[in-house]
Chain A
């Protein structure tokens, strides 16, 4: 009796497995497009929150892609704060994915490339990706190289980091402040005093906990790196440079004079606080974004020349999974996104006629932009009602320069970006990647020390005479010298091979 039951159960089980197999077999039957090509599905992990109308937009994208290159996208959007953790799991467990967003500040490009999670793209770039390869600024490709191999397709946008002073326009106009001539921290002093004397309820210099004092160095591994313009390539601790020492003194002076808000080391941006100047990290037309965010107009001036570092040029890349089944298709897709205007604009703004409308550019405006690159016949006008249902971070999907500019932006916006990029200077350390493995333990200790002292020193909340030596002592105790030595030897090797 018992045996009979077992037998039956076994038979039933086998039958169930077989049927299941058959069912999935049927489900996998390949779809084909109108050219008879098989459509492959690519899974693409992107950073940024999911949007209400994602489904509709990607339906349209997929229809377009199916006919064009026989690809169907499965885009997985992961929230900003969760992206790092999620990608770690997805990559380490060998989960099914084809493309993912990566950069210097999220889902770390360098580390993933070094440990072999991403596919080497050099050959594919010469085949399926040729068109795109030629279109994008070679310096982006240079930055994308890790150990001489390319592991990601950069999104073309601003290439350098460009710290700026951001002034509230109201006070600049009122006191006629020549903001364009203000560059260094020291330049600010007379105007801070002026504001303090005349505007009692305005904070002359409003800083928050994420503030770092102007740093004239590429911090390859915070706090050590190579100073801008130092062609001898000497690795230094930023807190031991003369520039930083005097900067911290000045910050302290401003703090004691009451120019800086007292809670600077712990504050997070409170927009209700009226301020005269604050620090921002900019790009062309950044004033418009800041102004919109704050609710009043601002003007800005560059603190130093724009510098290109590995971190800044790796601001956004898309990598292909080492184990992807369809690397050629993935490359074809990236190539199309970076060269095809129609596709790029759907991805960027959503469905035309629903989320945005094409607006024709006036003849005058077109004439004024004559001869400049990246000029298109249309601008995009977002539909205020529907826009919130689809707003994606543009640079996650691909380069910006083949998108339409918005109707309130100048037609030559991308040309200006291009000029900005061309004018940016390469930092001496540009192209050098630090392999931190030999000193990983030492580096792990830096974070704690910097968290403990960094914010209060940068904002001038504590006296650098007293606390800077303390910081240096602690860094020495965690082995900063060893890291400097290691980096120096690596950089010498790199220099010799260049």
Chain B
């Protein structure tokens, strides 16, 4: 009796141990080795530092005293701190603040119009019942592959549409993008089941109501993605301003910054041709610290825009689990 009990006990222990080992082994499979973990963390830390440090550096330079900058060059801990650059922007930089306003206006209006146009176009293309679907798909794909080029664009914008020196010259060229339409069309196609559309119609929804009350809320993650693309596109755009805006009152911030940087680079590389004239011209341009301060104020809002859109990206992962 005791022998068999003992045997039983031994067998239980053995089995237990085996299972435990098995469990341990399974855990091992999912776990990474401690050394690898440290290595990966180090690599990721370095990578993120590489992208964060330059920006921190920009912020530090914007708070550095201009004199100290010319004397010592860039430093992480400057000899003398100064708020001069920001004071300059607030007090003397009317054009900088104005450009800031232009950028914000263009971005907000442009994103709204862009989302509306892209959304409606893409939605129409996504509905199988739409008669001219293949024709309009072609209409939107062709410009993705071919473009008329700079001169043709300029002629259409200035001579046909008469948009030179208007705020629309900054908004309209960017609001429709073939790529965005196609992304969104695919998104509508996969995330809005036909049955939902059908049932809404049976319940008596008109096409507009269907689009605004059913489709848009369901497609929020997709729209947010396109919205972010548009926002970034508008916020960073300077080329349209270069082409179509001569009036300095309607210059967006990025173009202002671009202009300063372009001028500095160009004057530096043409030094031997321009001689003293070039140095005089360069002396009239904003100084390094002011440049950096403009970078800081132009980047901050867009940094804050990211987390807002992020919410929808996370939602986007969970949506689409439709049971048919």
A408: chain B residues at CB < 8 Å are none
Which of B158, B248, B265, B267 has the largest number of chain A CB atoms within 10 A?
Answer: B248
B261: chain A residues at CB < 8 Å are 81
A93 interfacial contact with B, CB 8 Å: yes
Contact residues of B between 235 and 269, Cβ < 8 Å to A = 242-243, 246, 248, 259-269
A106 (CB) vs chain B CBs: closest residue: B270
| B243 close to A295 (CB less than 8 A) | no
| B263 close to A49 (CB less than 8 A) | yes
A282: chain B residues at CB < 8 Å are 275-276
| B70 close to A295 (CB less than 8 A) | yes
| B265 close to A81 (CB less than 8 A) | yes
| A76 close to B72 (CB less than 8 A) | no
B260: chain A residues at CB < 8 Å are 49, 79
A89 interfacial contact with B, CB 8 Å: yes
- Partner-binding segment picked from B29-37, B101-109, B147-155, B184-192: B147-155
Contact residues of B between 18 and 70, Cβ < 8 Å to A = 69-70
Task: Give, as a whole number of angstroms, the nearest-CB distance from A254 to chain B.
Answer: 19
Give per-residue flags for B65-96: 1 if the beta carbon is below 8 A from chain A beta carbons, else 0. Answer: 00001111100000000000000000010110
| A105 close to B270 (CB less than 8 A) | yes
| B275 close to A81 (CB less than 8 A) | no
CA of A86 to CA of B245, assembled, Å? 11
A197 interfacial contact with B, CB 8 Å: no
Task: Give, as a whole number of angstroms, the nearest-CB distance from A154 to chain B.
Answer: 14
From A48, A50, A85, A212, give the contact of B281 (CB < 8 A): A48
CA of A76 to CA of B145, assembled, Å? 35
| A393 close to B259 (CB less than 8 A) | no
A82: chain B residues at CB < 8 Å are 242, 259, 262
Contact residues of A between 234 and 258, Cβ < 8 Å to B = none
B159 (CB) vs chain A CBs: closest residue: A93
- Can you list 28 contacts pairing A with B, beta carbon distance less than 8 Å? A48-B281, A49-B260, A49-B263, A49-B284, A49-B285, A50-B95, A80-B263, A82-B262, A85-B242, A89-B150, A105-B270, A105-B273, A162-B275, A210-B271, A212-B272, A272-B70, A272-B72, A281-B271, A281-B273, A281-B276, A283-B275, A283-B276, A289-B279, A293-B282, A293-B283, A315-B277, A388-B92, A393-B277
| A289 close to B70 (CB less than 8 A) | no
B interface: dominant SS: helix
CA of A388 to CA of B88, assembled, Å? 12
A78: chain B residues at CB < 8 Å are 246
Which of A82, A272, A311 has the largest number of chain B CB atoms within 10 A?
Answer: A82
B280: chain A residues at CB < 8 Å are 289, 393
Task: Give, as a whole number of angstroms, the nearest-CB distance from B234 to chain A.
Answer: 20
Which residues of B pack against A, CB within 8 Å?
Answer: 69-73, 92, 94-95, 150-151, 154-155, 158-159, 242-243, 246, 248, 259-277, 279-285
A295: chain B residues at CB < 8 Å are 70
A54 interfacial contact with B, CB 8 Å: yes
Nearest 7 pairs of A and B residues by beta carbon: A81-B262, A281-B275, A80-B263, A81-B266, A79-B259, A50-B248, A105-B273
Contact residues of A between 203 and 241, Cβ < 8 Å to B = 210-212
A92: chain B residues at CB < 8 Å are 151
Task: Give, as a whole number of angstroms, the nearest-CB distance from A140 to chain B.
Answer: 16
| Number of A-B residue pairs at CB separation under 8 A | 104
| B158 close to A93 (CB less than 8 A) | yes
B150 (CB) vs chain A CBs: closest residue: A89
From A86, A280, A388, give the contact of B275 (CB < 8 A): A280
From B155, B275, B281, give the contact of A80 (CB < 8 A): B281
- Partner-binding segment picked from A1-9, A263-271, A419-427: A263-271
Which of B92, B271, B276, B280 has the largest number of chain A CB atoms within 10 A?
Answer: B276
A34: chain B residues at CB < 8 Å are none
A391: chain B residues at CB < 8 Å are 284
From B73, B242, B274, B279, give the contact of A293 (CB < 8 A): B279
From B154, B246, B262, B283, give the contact of A292 (CB < 8 A): B283
B281 (CB) vs chain A CBs: closest residue: A393
A52 interfacial contact with B, CB 8 Å: yes
From B69, B266, B276, give the contact of A286 (CB < 8 A): B276
Task: Give, as a whole number of angstroms, the nearest-CB distance from B52 to chain A.
Answer: 25
A193 interfacial contact with B, CB 8 Å: no
A85: chain B residues at CB < 8 Å are 242
Task: Give, as a whole number of angstroms, the nearest-CB distance from B270 to chain A.
Answer: 6
B270: chain A residues at CB < 8 Å are 105-106, 210
CA of A79 to CA of B68, assembled, Å? 28
Contact residues of A between 134 and 179, Cβ < 8 Å to B = 161-162
CA of A281 to CA of B278, assembled, Å? 10
| B276 close to A289 (CB less than 8 A) | yes
A210: chain B residues at CB < 8 Å are 268-272
| B73 close to A270 (CB less than 8 A) | yes
A280: chain B residues at CB < 8 Å are 275-276
Contact residues of A between 59 and 104, Cβ < 8 Å to B = 76-82, 85-86, 89, 92-93, 95, 104
B266 (CB) vs chain A CBs: closest residue: A81
B268: chain A residues at CB < 8 Å are 210, 268-269
CA of A162 to CA of B73, assembled, Å? 30
Given A85-B242, A210-B269, also A161-B275 (CB < 8 A): yes
Task: Give, as a whole number of angstroms, the nearest-CB distance from A268 to chain B.
Answer: 6
- 13 extra interface residue pairs, beta carbon distance < 8 Å, beyond A289-B280, A293-B283: A49-B285, A52-B95, A80-B262, A82-B259, A82-B262, A85-B242, A93-B159, A210-B268, A269-B268, A272-B73, A286-B275, A293-B279, A388-B284
Contact residues of A between 270 and 321, Cβ < 8 Å to B = 270-272, 280-283, 286, 289-290, 292-293, 295, 311, 315
A104: chain B residues at CB < 8 Å are 273
| B274 close to A93 (CB less than 8 A) | no
Task: Give, as a whole number of angstroms, the nearest-CB distance from B67 to chain A.
Answer: 8
CA of A54 to CA of B248, assembled, Å? 10
| B259 close to A49 (CB less than 8 A) | yes
Task: Give, as a whole number of angstroms, the nearest-CB distance from A30 to chain B.
Answer: 22
